[in-house]
């Protein structure tokens, strides 16, 4: 029985209709696809200018036929009561409502009309299907957190049953928990792993210590899909070796859609069917393929609430091999709020800073994971999980490397913890800046 799709339909999400439309869009040639995108862009702007009070005020100078006249919106523009963002004819009872994770520093409630949300699921099922994963039958090992309140807990457990999911709680990454996880893999015919990158990396490291390969314990495994957090190439290689299966990168945003998914060719293919993705410079100009900029996304189907030229807060680059129909995300540098600002005026990507430290600190062997905090322009803290403190020699080496890649005169402290604090969802933010605004 197609229980997953049945529950979607039961809740008013027309998944069959969405899948039919998706197939039609995917069947278009490049010329017809370009016409489709241009029509959908104008249609969604026209709709919200006519039916959405918030957008009428926000984009009062917008001309649907002139894309450059459409203003760019940010998350802070949407941090207001959801009722004020809904289009005419929509109420909170008639839409899908979600909440962003807040990892960007700007959490907010958002809405999607039911057909738009069905299109989201049609895209997700399509991409997972590239690797023979069927949401109605394939069994998932889910590496996420779970709400601690009773209602939230049982709601997620019910979703797990409907979605063929066995949940592995990422709030406990102890050796004892990992052994319990291994027992589950031995006893169940799970087909794929899906969840937060950082937790799955820690599980892979534990398997490395024990010299075990997960697929040898659970032969039914096919693939692993890592999401929500940065996946470094060395971590991906580690996971593939000790999970014994391919590791696929996913990139999405709950308020939009699945935005990019690694295809069977190893390319990070952007969702062009329901989204229009732009790369802009700091002045709002379009960057050509191959050049880095801010990722600005338009949701082509959401009539409940406008996400039009929406600055997602990420910095990335589309490959020179991209086309309008098949854009390829070549690089995702990080979030715009993950920028390191230095006393000299120099800037660096937070994840690059994290990567420099990672390349040294993890060679220690005893360090399980860590995060970087920027406290002031010249002050940083390295918080790490380890059974023993880093040696002075190791600390000095890290400081020297940071100064080499950044600049001299930085004050860097180290703090050992038993575990790292994750968000309520279980996500780990690897670089945190406490500088409130650009210096």
Domain boundaries, the chain: 3-335, 339-433
Residue 398 has pLDDT above 50, yes or no: yes
d(CA 130, CA 223): 11
Which pLDDT score is estimated for 174? 83
Q: Is the pLDDT of residue 1 over 60?
A: no
Other residues' Cβ atoms within 10 Å of the Cβ of residue 28: 15
Give the per-residue pLDDT at 364.
61
Q: What's the CATH code, domain 3-335?
A: 3.40.50.12780
> pLDDT category, 108, cuts 50, 70, 90?
confident
Tens-place pLDDT, residues 11-50 = 999 999 999 999 999 999 999 999 999 999 999 999 999 9
Out of 295-309, 391-405, 417-431, least confident range: 417-431
Is the model's pLDDT at 146 over the cut of 90? no
Give the pLDDT score at 105: 45
Q: Which is more confident, 406 or 363?
A: 406
Assign domain 339-433 to its CATH superfamily: ANL, C-terminal domain (3.30.300.30)
Torsion sign, CA atoms 237, 238, 239, 243: positive
Q: Check: CB of residue 335 under 8 Å from CB of residue 102.
A: no
Cα atoms in the 13 Å half-sphere on the side-chain side of 84: 9
∠333-335-338 over CA atoms, to 5°? 100
Confidence class for position 113, pLDDT limits 50, 70, 90? very high
d(CA 193, CA 143): 7
Query: E strands, 184-286, where?
Result: 192-196, 223-227, 247-252, 258-262, 268-270, 275-280
- Computed over every residue of the chain, the mean pLDDT equals 88
At 331, the pLDDT band (50, 70, 90 cuts) reads: confident
CA contacts within 13 A on the Cβ side of 310: 25
pLDDT, position 13: 94
Task: Give the per-residue pLDDT at 262.
Answer: 95
pTM for the model stands at 0.81
């Amino acid at each position: 029985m197609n229980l997953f799709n049945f529950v979607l339909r039961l809740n008013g999400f027309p998944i069959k209709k969405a899948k039919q439309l998706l197939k039609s869009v995917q069947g278009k040639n490049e010329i017809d696809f370009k016409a489709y995108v241009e029509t959908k862009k104008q249609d969604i702007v026209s709709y919200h200018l006519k039916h959405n009070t918030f957008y009428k005020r926000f984009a009062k100078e917008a001309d649907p036929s002139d894309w450059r006249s459409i203003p760019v919106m940010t998350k802070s523009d949407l941090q207001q009561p959801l009722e004020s963002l809904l289009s005419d004819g929509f109420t909170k009872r008639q839409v899908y409502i979600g909440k962003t994770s807040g990892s960007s520093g700007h959490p907010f409630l958002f809405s999607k009309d039911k057909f738009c949300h069905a299109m989201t699921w049609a895209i997700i099922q399509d991409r997972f299907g590239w690797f023979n994963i069927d949401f109605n039958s394939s069994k998932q090992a889910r590496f996420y957190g779970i709400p601690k309140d009773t209602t939230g807990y049982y709601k997620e457990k019910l979703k797990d049953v409907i979605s063929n999911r066995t949940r592995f709680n990422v709030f406990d990454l102890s050796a004892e928990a990992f052994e319990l996880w291994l027992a589950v893999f031995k006893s169940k015919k799970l087909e794929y792993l899906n969840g937060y990158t950082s937790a799955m990396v820690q599980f892979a490291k534990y398997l490395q210590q024990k010299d075990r390969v997960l697929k040898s314990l659970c032969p039914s495994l096919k693939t692993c899909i890592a999401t929500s957090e940065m996946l470094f190439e060395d971590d991906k290689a580690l996971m593939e070796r000790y999970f014994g299966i391919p590791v696929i990168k996913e990139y999405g945003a709950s308020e939009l859609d699945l935005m990019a998914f690694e295809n069977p060719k190893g390319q990070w293919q952007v969702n062009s069917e329901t989204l229009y993705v732009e790369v802009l410079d700091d002045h709002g100009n379009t960057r050509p393929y191959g050049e880095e900029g801010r990722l600005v996304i338009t949701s082509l189907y959401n009539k409940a609430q406008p996400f039009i030229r929406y600055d997602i807060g990420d910095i990335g680059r589309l490959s020179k091999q991209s086309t309008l129909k098949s854009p390829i995300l070549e690089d995702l540098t990080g979030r715009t709020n993950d920028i390191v600002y230095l006393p000299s005026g120099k800037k660096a990507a937070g994840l690059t800073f994290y990567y420099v430290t990672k390349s040294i600190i993890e060679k220690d062997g005893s360090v399980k994971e860590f995060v970087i905090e920027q406290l002031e322009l010249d002050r940083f803290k390295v918080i790490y999980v380890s059974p023993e403190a880093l040696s002075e020699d190791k600390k000095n080496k890290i400081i020297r490397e940071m100064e080499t890649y950044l600049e001299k005169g930085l004050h860097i402290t180290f703090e050992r913890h038993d575990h790292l604090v994750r968000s309520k969802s279980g996500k780990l933010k690897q670089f945190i800046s406490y500088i409130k605004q650009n210096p």
